Chains A and B, each alone.
Chain A
Amino acid sequence: GAVVSQHPSRVICKSGTSVKIECRSLDFQATTMFWYRQFPKKSLMLMATSNEGSKATYEQGVEKDKFLINHASLTLSTLTVTSAHPEDSSFYICSARKGGSTGELFFGEGSRLTVL
C-alpha cells in the first residue's frame, strides 16, 4: 500500500531555533500534500496545502513566515518552523493523495516537536 513517511518522528529544540520536518510519499507521486497540526486530545487542524512547484496555500490564522513550506519535488514536502517558541510544540502530521485529486488520502506518522 501507499506509504507517507515523515522525518524526524520526534525533535526537541531550543527556543529561537528553526526545525525542518520532511514528508515523503514513498511509492507514489503527490502534486499536493497537506500539513496538519494536532494538539493533545484534539482534532487535526489543516495548516496549509503544499503544491509542487508553486507556493503553499495557508489556512486563515496560520503565519506563512513562521511555517515555511517547500514542495520541491513530487515526492517531498518540507515544513520549517522558524524561530520556534514553546507554543509551537505540537504534533505535526502531513498527508498526501494517491491517484490524483480524488485518490485516497494517506497520512504520515507525525512528527512531535518540543520547543524548550
Chain B
Amino acid sequence: QKEVEQDPGPLSVPEGAIVSLNCTYSNSAFQYFMWYRQYSRKGPELLMYTYSSGNKEDGRFTAQVDKSSKYISLFIRDSQPSDSATYLCAMSVETSGSRLTFGEGTQLTVNP
C-alpha cells in the first residue's frame, strides 16, 4: 500500500465549477500537509501549507485536513482555465523534513 494515495484523474470541469481534490494517507505520523500545483514541464509550486487538522483558506483555495480519517482535501472555488494543472498533495512528519511524501498528482482541466 502506498503511503499517500491520490486519484490521478484526469478531472475535467467547466469554468466556474468548484473543484475538490483529495488524498488519503496511511502514516499517522504525518503532521504537515501541502498542496502543490505543477504546470506541464515545470517544477511544482506551493499552494497551501497546513499543520495538523483544520481548515485554511487563501483566496479561491481552501485546504482541509482530517487527521482522524487520514484525509486531506483541496477545494478550488470559481475555477478558471488557468487552474488547469496537476495538483500534488505532499506531507511530512517534520516541518524541517526534506522527506516529503508526494501523491501521484491529479490532472485538472478547467474548460472555458
Smallest CB-CB separation from A111: which chain B residue? B43
Identify which of A32, A41, A109 contacts B43 (C-beta below 8 A): A109
Contact of B102 among A32, A34, A43, A49 (CB under 8 A): A43
Interface positions, chain A 19-70, Cβ under 8 Å from B, are 32, 34, 41-46, 49
Q: Flag whether A75 is at the interface (Cβ < 8 A).
A: no
Chain A residue with the shortest CB-CB distance to B97: A101
Is the beta-carbon distance between B8 and A49 smaller than 8 angstroms? no
Asked if B46 is at the interface of the complex by the 8 Å CB criterion, the answer is yes
Q: Please tell me if the beta carbons of B41 and A112 are within 8 angstroms of each other in the complex.
A: yes
Most buried by B among A41, A102, A112: A41
C-alpha spacing A34/B102, complex, angstroms: 14
CA of A91 to CA of B103, assembled, Å: 16
Question: Interface of chain B, helix or strand or loop or mixed?
Answer: loop
Please tell me if the beta carbons of A43 and B46 are within 8 angstroms of each other in the complex: no
- Asked whether A110 lies within 8 Å of B41 as measured between CB atoms, the reply is yes
By size class, the interface of chain A is: 20 to 34
Q: A101-B96, A105-B100 are in contact. Are A41 and B42 (CB under 8 A)?
A: no
The listed residue (A32, A49, A91, A107) touching B45 by CB distance below 8 A is A107
CB pair B96–A102 under 8 Å, yes or no, is yes
Q: Which residue of B lies closest to A108 (CB)?
A: B43
Q: Which residue of A lies closest to B92 (CB)?
A: A105
Q: Which residues of A contact B41 (CB under 8 A)?
A: 91, 110, 112
* Closest 10 A/B residue pairs (Cβ): A107-B43, A101-B96, A43-B102, A109-B43, A43-B104, A44-B102, A110-B43, A107-B44, A34-B98, A108-B43
